Structure 1
Amino acid sequence: MTEATKSPVLDIVKVNSDHGHAQAYAELREHGPVVRGEAFGGYWAVVSYDAIRRAANDVGNLCSGQGSTIPALGTAFRPIPVEVDPPDHRKYRQLLVPVLRPEKVAEWEDLIRRETDIAIDRFIEAGSADLMEIARYVPPAVIAFILGVSDEGPTMVKLTADLNNAATAGDPEAKKAANMALFQFVDQIVTDAEGTDRDDMLGMIANAQIDGAPIGHMKAVAMAVTVVIAGQETTVNGISSALWLVAAHQEVKQRLIENPELIPNAVEESLRLETPVQMMGRTATTDIELEGVRITEGERVGLAWGAANVDPAKFEDPEKFNIDRPNNPHVAFGHGIHRCAGEHLARAEMRIALEQVLARMPDYRLAGEVELGTSGAMNRGAHSVPVTFTPGARAYQN
C-alpha cells in the first residue's frame, strides 16, 4: 500500500460471514469514505454511498479490464463485458442488453414459476425444509434454459462454486484446475452453437458480430462465461436473502400475503439490505487521489456496494428491513456502465420465488439460525434457511 493510515482494516470475508454488517461498515465509515483492505494482496475499499457512485463513474482512472474481482478469479480470459473498458465495452454489452430487457424477461415468467414450483415440490409434503433448495435450483435451471442447454444447470453450479472456492482459498493448483474445467465446459457449449441458427442466448453469442466481423470463438467463450457465472450465485443469494428476511419479519410476511403488490418492494429492500455482491474490483490506471486518499497506479480499489446500501447518509435506519421506504436507490446491481445487465431477470426470479412460497406455504417461519457465507469473498448470502410450515400438496406429480 502507498499510504499508512490509522483507520481500521476492512475484512470483507468476515463482514460477509457475520450478521450486523451495517454496524461493521459504519465503524469503518467513521474514518472516511475510503479504507484499507489487507487480504488478497491489499487493496483500498470505498465504503460510502456518494463516493462509490463517483468512483464507479470514473472509468478512466479506475478500470475493470485488469480484474473485476478481489481476489481476481484468474481466468484464462477476461469475462466479457465485465472486464472490458471503454470504448469496446459498449459494443459487447449491447449484445446482452436486448436479450435481458424487461419485456423479454416477462416471457420467461411461466418458466421461472414452473421451476420454482418444481423446487418446492421436493419438500412441500414434509412440513420442513431448507429454502436454499429453491435458491440453488431455480437460477441455474433458468439460465441453462435461456442459454439453450437446459440439462446443464447442475454442471454450471458446480463449476462456478469450484472456481470461487479456489480463488478465495488461494490454492494455485486448484485455481488452475477450476479454470480449466470451466473453460472446457463453456468452450464445448459455444462450439456446439457456432454456425447454427439457434435463437437462444448461446446461439446469439456464438454467432454475434462486432464491428461487422464475427465475434470469434474465444470472445464468445468469454461472454458465455460471464453469463454462466453471473446468472447463478448472485441470484441464488438474492433469492435466499429475500425468503430469509420475510420469514424473519412475520408482520411483513402477513402484509405481503394480504397485499401481494408489495412483493416487489420486499425484493428491492432485500437487495439493499443483503446485497448479494458486496464489492467489485477496479484497478487504478494512474496515480490519483480518491476521496482524499492517495492511490498509486496499479493498486486495487474495491467498490463496496453493500456498504453503500447501508450508509445512513443515504438510507434512514439502514439496518432495518423496511418495505415502505419511499425511495430506495440502492446500488445492489452496481452503478455506471458496468451495472448488471441481468438485473431484470434477477428481480423476476426473486419476486416469483416469494410469490410461490407465500402462496403455497404461507405460514412458513424460521426453524433455526441463518448462517452466512458464500464461495466468493465478495458475495454475501446464506448457507441455509431452515423453515417449518404446514405440509401441502405437490404442484406436479412427476
Structure 2
Amino acid sequence: MHPDWQFDHIDPLLSNPLNEVLADLRAQCPVTHSTKHGGFTAALTYDLIKQILGDHGSYSSAHGIAIPRLTMTGKPPIDYDPPLHTMYRKILQRHFTRAAVAKYDDTLRALVRQRIEDVLARGEGDLVTDLAHYLPPAAIALILGMPPEDGLKFVRWLEVMFVAARTGDPKTGGRAYQEFQEYIAGQLAQQRAAGADTVALAIADGTVDGRPLTSDEQINMFTILIIAGHETTVHGLSSMLYFLATVDGLRARLLNEPALLSKMIDECLRIEAPVVGIARTALRDTEVVSDGEKVVLVLNAANHDPAVFSEPAEFRCERDRNPHLAFGYGVHRCVGEHLALLEMRVVAEEVLSLLPDYRFAADFRPQWIGGRMTRGIESLPVQLR
C-alpha cells in the first residue's frame, strides 16, 4: 500500500536532523510503512494525526502507546480506552486544572531561583542537569503532596525498576518497587492525619467501575504520573532554554514584551515537541491501516506541516494561531499540560531575570537524545565568567 520506507522514529541517527528528515519524508510519502519493530505505519500530516487522535473508536491505546512497547509492571491508565480511561482520568483531573496548579507557583519559583543562584555562584553550570532535570520531579512531588526534594527519589526508584525489568533482574526491581511502595504508604498516612487534599490521596481513594483501585493500580498511576511529568517536561525545558539563547533577539523581545511569553512557550513546544510520536492500534479496517495494525503518529511532523503552519522551520513567537499537538489531542490529551506550562513559564521568567545574558561556547552544538517516545537536548553547558 505504501512505499517501503524503513523509517524508524527512535533511530539515534535521526536525532539531530529529525525535523529535516520528517519534512522530506512528509513531502514524498505522508503515510509511510516501516518493517521496524514488528511493522507499523507512520502518519506524518497534521490533519491525519489529529483525526486519528480524536477517533478512539477506531484507534485504540489499549495495546500500548509506544513502539516498541514500554516495559512496565501492570498497565498504566494511558493504555486504556474510554470508558475505563475516562474513569482513571477523572481521579486526577481536578488537581491538574490551570487554577489548581497555580498555587505551586511560589514554591516552584523559589526552587528555580535557588538552582540559578547556585549556577551563578559557581560561574558555570549545565542548564539541563542543574535546572531542567531538577524541577519536574520536584513539581510532581509537590502535586502529590510530598516534599519536593523527594522527587528525585521517585525517578531513581523507577529507573531501577525499568532497568531491572529490561535486564531480567527481578530481585533488584522488586526491592526498588517495595521501597517505592513503602514510601508512598508512609506519605499517605501522614497526609490522611493532616486532612490534606492531594493527588496522592485522590489516587489512594480512587474508584474505577464502582470498585476501589487495587494496590498495583495505585502504584501504576503514581508511576505514570512521575514518568509522564518528568522526562517530557525536562525535554521541554531544555529546548526552551536552548531557543532562548540561540534565537536572535528573542530574550530582548521577551523582556520588552512579557505578554509574548506564553506564545514563546507554545512555539518552543511546536518546534521541538518533547514527545516525538505516540502509537495507536486499529480496531477496524480504516483508510490508513487494517484492523489490528499499528500506526505511529509523529507529532513533530504534524507540528511542522506547512499546510497548517506557515514557514514551519522558523521560530515565530508572534504566531496568532499555533494549534500544535505537543500535548496530544482528544480524550488522551496530556492531563499534566497546565503543570508543564507553569514550570516552563516560571523557568523562563526567572532565567530572563537572573541569567539574561547566558551564552554557550562558540563551538557548542546541541546533541538531541531520545527514548521510545521522547526527544530533548542532552546538555546545555554555560560559562558565566
* Within-5 A mapping of 1:264-303: 264-290=262-288, 295-303=289-297
Deviation at 1:62, TM superposition (A): 1.3
1:386 is matched with 381
Q: Does structure 2 conserve the Cα–Cα contact (< 8 Å) formed by 1:35 and 1:46?
A: yes
**What value does the CA root-mean-square deviation take over the aligned residues?**
2.4
Separation of aligned partners in 1, 2:284 and 2:292: 7
Instruction: Give % identity.
Output: 35
* Within-5 A mapping of 1:210-359: 210-290=208-288, 295-359=289-353
1:371 is matched with 367
Matched, 1:62 2:56: no
Q: Where does the alignment leave 5 or more consecutive residues of structure 1 unmatched?
A: 391-398
Q: TM-score normalized by structure 2?
A: 0.90
Q: 1:11 to 1:163 in 2, by over 3 A?
A: farther
Deviation at 1:17, TM superposition (A): 5.2
Q: 1:165 to 1:383 in 2, by over 3 A?
A: farther
Task: Please point out which of 149, 170, 181 is paired with 2:146.
Answer: 149
Deviation at 1:177, TM superposition (A): 7.2
Q: Which amino acid aligns with 1:262?
A: L
Separation of aligned partners in 1, 2:202 and 2:302: 35
Deviation at 1:68, TM superposition (A): 1.3
Task: Please point out which of 60, 70, 74 is paired with 2:71.
Answer: 74
Task: Please point out which of 7, 19, 27 is paired with 2:16.
Answer: 19
2:7 is matched with 10
Q: 1:35 to 1:188 in 2, by over 3 A?
A: farther
Deviates more, 1:58-67 or 1:17-26: 17-26
Deviation at 1:259, TM superposition (A): 1.9
Q: 1:220 to 1:166 in 2, by over 3 A?
A: closer
SS at match of 1:373: strand
Q: Does structure 1 conserve the Cα–Cα contact (< 8 Å) formed by 2:367 and 2:379?
A: yes
Separation of aligned partners in 2, 1:337 and 1:178: 36
Separation of aligned partners in 1, 2:158 and 2:320: 37
* Within-5 A mapping of 1:122-137: 122-132=118-128, 133-137=130-134
Deviation at 1:347, TM superposition (A): 0.5
Separation of aligned partners in 1, 2:131 and 2:119: 10
Q: TM-score normalized by structure 1?
A: 0.88
> What is the CA deviation profile of residues 98-130 of structure 1, one whole-angstrom value per residue up to 9, with x for unaligned ones?
000001111110011011112212211233221
Q: 1:7 to 1:316 in 2, by over 3 A?
A: farther
Deviates more, 1:57-66 or 1:156-165: 156-165
Structure with more of its chain in helix, by fraction: 2
Q: Does structure 2 conserve the Cα–Cα contact (< 8 Å) formed by 1:13 and 1:378?
A: yes
Separation of aligned partners in 1, 2:9 and 2:161: 18
Deviation at 1:219, TM superposition (A): 1.9
Deviation at 1:262, TM superposition (A): 1.4
> What is the CA deviation profile of residues 29-69 of structure 1, one whole-angstrom value per residue up to 9, with x for unaligned ones?
12333212443322211111000011112212211111111
2:40 is matched with 43
1:93 is matched with 89
Deviation at 1:139, TM superposition (A): 0.6
Q: Does structure 2 conserve the Cα–Cα contact (< 8 Å) formed by 1:272 and 1:309?
A: yes
Separation of aligned partners in 1, 2:175 and 2:44: 35
1:105 is matched with 101
Separation of aligned partners in 1, 2:15 and 2:184: 39
Deviation at 1:160, TM superposition (A): 4.4
Deviation at 1:338, TM superposition (A): 0.2
Separation of aligned partners in 2, 1:326 and 1:235: 24
Q: Which amino acid aligns with 1:333?
A: F
Matched, 1:187 2:181: yes
Separation of aligned partners in 1, 2:330 and 2:34: 23
Q: Where does the alignment leave 5 or more consecutive residues of structure 2 unmatched?
A: none
2:117 is matched with 121
SS at match of 1:24: helix
> What is the CA deviation profile of residues 307-341 of structure 1, one whole-angstrom value per residue up to 9, with x for unaligned ones?
10011111111111110111100000001100001
Separation of aligned partners in 2, 1:183 and 1:233: 20
1:394 is matched with none
Q: Does structure 2 conserve the Cα–Cα contact (< 8 Å) formed by 1:119 and 1:138?
A: no
SS at match of 1:54: helix
SS at match of 2:20: helix
Q: 1:141 to 1:237 in 2, by over 3 A?
A: same
Deviation at 1:156, TM superposition (A): 2.2
Q: Does structure 2 conserve the Cα–Cα contact (< 8 Å) formed by 1:143 and 1:231?
A: yes
> What is the CA deviation profile of residues 226-254 of structure 1, one whole-angstrom value per residue up to 9, with x for unaligned ones?
11111101000011100101101141111
> What is the CA deviation profile of residues 345-370 of structure 1, one whole-angstrom value per residue up to 9, with x for unaligned ones?
00010111011111001111222221
Separation of aligned partners in 2, 1:16 and 1:165: 23
Q: Does structure 1 conserve the Cα–Cα contact (< 8 Å) formed by 2:299 and 2:325?
A: yes
Q: Does structure 1 conserve the Cα–Cα contact (< 8 Å) formed by 2:161 and 2:177?
A: no
Q: Does structure 1 conserve the Cα–Cα contact (< 8 Å) formed by 2:84 and 2:209?
A: no
